[in-house]
Amino acid sequence: MGFMKRYLFSLIFIALLMAGCNKAKEVLVPSAGPNSLLKETYPLPDTSRKMMDGIYTVKAGSDLFGDQVVIKWSRKKMSVFCSDGHYFVLDVGQLDSVIMIQGYWRYCYNDNTGAVSAYIAREEGGRDIMKADQQTGSIIIRGGYGSSGNEINNSLLFVYQRPIAPAVLSKHFSMLAHRSGGRTSDHLPVSENSIEMINFTEGLGSTGIEIDVQLTSDGIPVLYHDGDINIRLTQKGPISGPINDFTYIQLYYLVRLIHGEHIPRLKDALMFVVDSTLLTDVYLDMKEKVPSVSAVVPIQKEILQRAKDKGRDLHIYIGLPSQDAIDDFMNQPDYLNIPSLCELSTDDVAKVNSMVWAPRWTLGTQDDQVALIHSQGRIAWTWTLDNVNWIQEFINNGHFDGILTNYPFIVGYYHYTREN
Amino acid sequence: MNLFYRFLLIGLLGLPGLLNAQEKSPPIDIGKESMYFPHYYQKYKLQYGLGFYFAHLPLDWVETALQAPLIDLQLSFGLPAGFSLAGSLNTLVVSNQVTLGARWNFIHRNFSFNLGYDLGYSLGIMNIAGFKNTGMVLTHYPNLSVGFKTRTLAFTLKGEALIIAWGQMKTGEDLMSSTANIFDGVSCAIYMEQRIFRKKVLVIGLKENYVKYYWPAWMVFSTFDRFYYIPELHLLWVL
C-alpha cells in the first residue's frame, strides 16, 4: 500500500510538471541597432516607394522564400510577402540614389526569423526609383539574410518582374488583421489588442483590423480578448478575474499586456487609427458579456466624424456575433443607420441593415450567399483564415471582399499576384 | 480548479479505498492480467479495457482552459510466438480515432519489453455552430514498451513516434486541403497497473505528447508549425 502510494505521488508530480511545461516564448526580432546602415540615409518620397511595389522573381534565396515574392510599401515599412507564410518587414533609406534596405524576415507558423540587409545600386534601379521614372527597365535588390541572431550568411537577390495589376490595386479588398494586428500567441514583438500593435500591423500588410471590445465595470469600452485577466495575455500582476469586474483606472494602473503595454480604451485606439495610420477598415468584435453597444455607438460616431474631417476613408463596423448582440444592437435608436457587421445569416444582415456579412471560413466560400449579399449592395468578409492553402483557395475561387486573418501577408501575396 | 487537476485530485482521493479492497483477494500474476505491460498474452484470447483520458491542450490553440474527456477502449489479442494484436477506439463524438497494430513481446524475469507498430485512422466531423468540416488523418505509430513488475504492480514505460501518413480536410461544399508524410512528434507514457479485486485491473497512466498536430483537437484548425507538450491523464479499467 505504501509502495503504491509512493509511486502514485511520483506519477502525479510528473503529471503536474508536464502540464506546466508550455512556457511562453519570446522571439527576438533581429535588429542592426546602432550599427544600422540606414542612419546615414534619407527617407524615400512616396512616389519612389510606389515604384518599388510589384512582383519580383527570387534569383537567390528561393530555397526559403519561394520563386516569387510581392513587395508592397505601407505607411512606413517596405514589406515582402512570400507564398508560404514567410514575410519581411524592412526599413529603407537612400543615399545618392543608392537604396539601402535593412530589417528582418519571419516565418509566421513558427519562430524562425533572421536579419536582412540589401541594397539597390544606382544603375540597377536606384536612380530610376529616386527620379520616380515609370519607364524603369528593372529593379535588382541584392543582399543577404541570416537564420539566427543578426548574422547574414545567405545571398538574396530579387529581380523586378512586373507591377501589381492596376485592377487589383483599384479593387477594395480588405486584408484585416486579427486582434488589432496580430496575436500574442504568434510571438510578435508587441501585444495583441494594443495601440502598439495597431502601429505595427501595417508592416505586415494589413489594410484593416479587427479589435476585441469589452466593457469595464465603469462602462468604458476597452480592447481585450479573453473574459478574464490572465497570464496568457498579461504580465503577472496583482489582479486577476473577469475584466468586467475592474474599472478602467484599475486596469490602467494594475495590468500590463504581455509586452508591457497598457490595455487601451477603444476611443484611444480608434483615434490612433485615424490620426496615425492608413488603415481603412475596423471591425469591432463585441465580446458581449454585458450589453455594450450603447457605450460603443457614440465613440464610433465621433471617430467616423473625425475621419471624415480629415478626409480619411475609414469604415468602422460594430460586429454582431450572436442573437444577444443583435437584440442589444436593435435597442439603439436609428440602428438601421449605424454601420455594422453581422456574423449570422444573410436574413439577419438584412434585418439590421449591416453593411458587411461576415461568416466563419469553416462554412466554405458560399458563392451563392456572397452573390446575394453583393446584389443587395453589401460586402462579405470571412474570418479567421490562417492556413495558406485555404487562403489561396478563398482568394482564387471565392468572391469575398475581404479576409480576416492572423497572417495578412499571406492574403497580400495571393491578392497582389492576381492578374485582375 | 480546471478539469485536469480536478481529475487528478479525484484519482488521488479515491484510490486508497480501492487499494484496501485488493489486499483481501487471492494473489494473481499482475503481469498476465495487465493491458499495457508487455507479456505473453493468452493465445487467441481477447482482452479489453474501458476508460477515459483527459488531455491538456496548449493555450496557443484553445486560448482558454478547455478539456473534455475522451472515451478510451483498448483491445489486445494473443497470438503464438510472443506476438499479439492491439487495437483501440477513442472518441470525443466530433473527434474519433481507431488504431490497429501488432506487438512482439519478450519477458525476462520481472522485466519485459515489446516492439510494436500501430496504424491510426482519425475522423472528425463538425456540422454545427458555423462549422461545416470533415477531417481525416492516417497516422503511423511505431512504438516500444519496457515493463517492470512487482508482486502486485506492473509498470510500463512506452515510447512512440507519430508520423502523419496522409491527412485531408474538407470545408464547406467542396474545398479540400491535403497533406502527407509529416513527422508529427513523439510521445512518452508511463502506466501503472494494479489488480483491484478478483482479476480486475485498474490502469493509471500519464502520457506526454510532444507534437505539432494532435488529432483530438483537429477542430481548432491550428496552423502552428511548432512542437507542443500535451499531457494526458489516463484511467482504464481492464475488464
Number of domains in chain A: 2
Provide mean pLDDT across the span A41-46.
94
Residue A18 forms part of a structural domain:
no
Residues A181, A147 share a domain? no
End position of a domain, from candidates A130, A163, A196: A163
Judged on CB neighbours under 10 Å (0-12, 13-18, 19+), A27 is: middle
Same domain, A394 and A321: yes
Residue A119's pLDDT is 97
pLDDT of residue A67: 97
Q: Are residues A123 and A257 in the same domain?
A: no
Cβ separation B172–A364 shorter than 8 A: yes
Q: In A, what residues contact B, Cβ < 8 A?
A: 1, 3-5, 7-8, 11-12, 14-16, 18-19, 21-22, 107, 109-111, 185, 225-227, 232, 343, 359-366, 386-390, 393, 397
Q: Give how far B172 is from chain A: nearest CA, Å.
A: 4
Residues of A in contact with B206 (CB under 8 A): 11, 14-15, 18
| ipTM for the whole complex | 0.84
Parts of chain B with a pLDDT under 70:
1-26, 65-67, 174-175
Q: Is the pLDDT of residue A3 over 70?
A: no
Q: What CATH number should be reported for the domain holding residue A178?
A: 3.20.20.190
Q: Say which of A12, A110, A232 has its CB closest to residue B63.
A: A232
Q: Is this structure's pTM higher than 0.80?
A: yes
pLDDT tens, position by position, B169-218: 888 876 677 888 899 999 999 999 998 877 789 999 999 999 999 999 99
In a domain, A10, yes or no: no
Overall average pLDDT of the A159-167 stretch: 95
Interface test with B, best of A4, A26, A179, A385 (most B CBs within 10 A): A4
Name the residue facing B177 among A22, A110, A387 (closest C-beta).
A387
Domain B3-238 CATH (choose: 3.40.1000, 3.30.1490, 2.40.128, 3.40.50): 2.40.128
Distance (Å) from the alpha carbon of B24 to chain A's nearest alpha carbon: 12
- Cα–Cα distance, A171 to B152 (Å, whole number): 73
**Cell numbers linked to B32:** 498476465
Contact B63 A185 (CB under 8 A): yes
Nearest residue of A to residue B132, measured between CA atoms: A363
Residues A195, A108 share a domain:
no
Residue A3 lies in a domain: no
Q: Are A130 and A201 in a shared domain? A: no
Question: SS3 letters for chain B?
Answer: CCHHHHHHHHHHHHHHHHHHHHCCCCCCCHHHHCCCCCCCCCECCEEEEEEEEEECCCHHHHCCCCCCCEEEEEEEEECCCCEEEEEEEEECCCEEEEEEEEEEEEEECCEEEEEEEEEEEEEEEECCCCCCEEEEEEEEEEEEEEEEECCCEEEEEEEEEEEEEEEEEEECCCEEEEEEEEEEEEEEEEEEEEEEECCEEEEEEEEEEEECCCHHHHHHCCCCCCCEEEEEEEEEEEC
Residue B143: per-residue pLDDT: 98
* Residue A178 placed within a domain: yes
Interface test with A, best of B57, B149, B175 (most A CBs within 10 A): B175
pLDDT of amino acid A417 = 97
The pLDDT, as a whole number, for residue A5 is 52
Q: Chain A residues with CB inside 8 Å of B53's CB? A: none
Among A122, A141, A163, which residue terminates a domain?
A163
Say if the Cβ atoms of B224 and A109 lie within 8 Å: yes
Neighboring chain B residues of A22 at a CB cutoff of 8 Å: 58-60, 228-229
Residues on chain A touching B14 (C-beta within 8 angstroms): none
pLDDT in tens, A94-150: 999 999 999 999 999 999 999 999 999 999 999 999 988 766 668 999 999 998 777
Beta strand extents in A125-194 (DSSP E only): 140-145, 154-162, 174-177
Which pLDDT value is given to residue A22?
47
**Mean pLDDT to the nearest integer, A66-80:** 97
Tell me whether residue A39 is in a domain: yes
Q: What is the pLDDT of residue B28?
A: 76
**Tens of pLDDT, residues A228-246:** 999 999 999 999 999 999 9
Q: Please judge whether B225 and A109 are an interchain contact, meaning their C-beta atoms are less than 8 angstroms apart.
A: yes
Q: Domain range spanning residue A146?
A: 33-163
**Of the candidates A308, A307, A283, which has an alpha carbon nearest to the alpha carbon of residue A296?**
A283
Does residue A265 form part of some domain?
Answer: yes
Q: How far apart are the CA of B62 and the nearest CA of chain A, in angstroms?
A: 11
Question: Would you say residue A22 lies in a domain?
Answer: no
Domain range annotation of chain B: 3-238
- Our CA-based measurement puts residue B79 at a distance from the nearest CA of chain A, in whole angstroms, of 32
CA distance A79 to chain B (A): 22
- Mutation test of the interface with chain B: which of A86, A224, A362, choosing the one with the most B Cβ atoms within 10 A? A362
| Residue ending a domain, choose from A144, A163, A182 | A163
- Verify that A308 and A280 share a domain, yes or no: yes
| A150 and A234 part of one domain | no
Asked whether the beta carbons of residue A390 and residue B171 sit closer than 8 angstroms, the reply is yes
- The one-character DSSP state at A2 is H
CATH of the domain at A77: 2.40.128
Cell numbers of A387, please? 492556413
DSSP annotation of A335: G
DSSP H or E stretch at residue A103:
strand A98-107
